[in-house]
A = this chain, B = another copy of it.
Amino acid sequence: MTDTNTQILLRARPVGEPTAEDFSIVDSEVPSPAEGEVLLRTKFLSLDPYMRGRMSDAPSYAAPTALGDVLPGATVAEVVESRDPSRQVGDVVLAYGGWQSFSVAPASHTRRLDPSAAPVSTALGVLGMPGFTAYAGLTQIGRPKPGETVVVAAATGPVGATVGQIAKILGCRAVGIAGGPEKVAHLTELGFDAAVDHRAPDFKEQLKAAVPEGIDVYFENVGGHVWDAVLPRLNKFARVPVCGLIAHYNDTAAPEGPDRAPALMRHVLNKSLLIRGFIQTEFVRDHEETFLAEATGWLAEGRLRYREDVTQGLENAPAAFNRMLRGQNFGKTVVEV
Contact = CB atoms under 8 A, between A and B. Distances in A.
Interface of A: 59-61, 220, 223-224, 227, 236, 242-245, 248, 251, 253-279, 282
Contacts of A242: 265, 268-269
A244, A253, A266, A282: residue with the most chain B Cβ atoms closer than 10 Å: A266
A61 B271 contact: yes
A227 B268 CA distance: 14
B265 A272 contact: no
Given A256-B258, A259-B257, A260-B259, A223 B275 contact: no
Contacts of A263: 254, 261
A264 B59 CA distance: 13
A17 B279 CA distance: 42
Contacts of A266: 245, 248
Given A269-B245, A270-B59, A251 B257 contact: no
Contact of A255 (B59, B245, B258, B279): B258
The 6 closest A-B pairs by CB, nearest first: A257-B257, A254-B258, A268-B277, A269-B277, A260-B261, A275-B275
B258 A245 contact: no
25 contacts: A60-B270, A61-B269, A61-B272, A243-B269, A245-B262, A245-B266, A245-B269, A248-B265, A251-B262, A254-B257, A254-B259, A254-B263, A255-B262, A256-B259, A257-B257, A258-B259, A260-B260, A261-B264, A268-B276, A269-B277, A270-B277, A273-B276, A273-B277, A274-B274, A274-B277
Given A268-B275, A269-B277, 10 more contacts: A59-B270, A61-B271, A223-B262, A245-B265, A251-B262, A254-B257, A259-B261, A272-B279, A272-B282, A275-B276
B261 A272 contact: no
Contact of A262 (B248, B262, B269, B270): B248
A260, A269, A274: residue with the most chain B Cβ atoms closer than 10 Å: A269
B254 A260 contact: yes
A87 B267 CA distance: 41
Contacts of A243: 269
A265 B223 CA distance: 8
B272 A277 contact: yes
A63 to B, nearest CB: 12
A254 B262 CA distance: 7
Nearest to A256: B257
A231 to B, nearest CB: 9
Contacts of A270: 59-61, 277
Nearest to A254: B258
Contacts of A245: 262, 265-266, 269
A259 B245 CA distance: 15
